Amino acid sequence: MLSCKQVATIASDYLDNNTPLKWQMRLHLLMCANCRRFVRHLEITREVSARITTNETIQDAEVVWGNLQTRLNKERQSNE
Ligand SMILES: [Zn+2]
């Protein structure tokens, strides 16, 4: 069983589909809401930065970041 610390360390590789610990990771995520949230936020952040570095203007990037904040705030509220 992975620890939360290990999950945080390999989360980025996991999202790249680049870890031999994929199944241990899934198992941990099934059981640990904190890590689920962590991985999901990491995923959103990566999605946003990928868009920013590809072809959007700075203005679009600001909109995307605004949407990200809204999404995270909503999620935070729904978790309370
Ligand atoms: Zn955990």
Provide the pLDDT confidence category of residue 20 given band limits of 50, 70 and 90: very high
What does pTM read for this prediction? 0.64
Contacts of 48 (CB under 8 A, 6+ apart): 64, 65, 68
Where is pLDDT greater, at 64 or 36?
36
Contacts of 52 (CB under 8 A, 6+ apart): 61, 64
For residue 67, the CA-to-ligand 1 centroid distance in Å is: 26
Provide the pLDDT confidence category of residue 56 given band limits of 50, 70 and 90: low
For residue 15, the CA-to-ligand 1 centroid distance in Å is: 16
Is pLDDT at 79 greater than 90 in this prediction?
no
Who surrounds ion ligand 1 at CB < 5 A? 4, 32, 35
For residue 43, the CA-to-ligand 1 centroid distance in Å is: 16
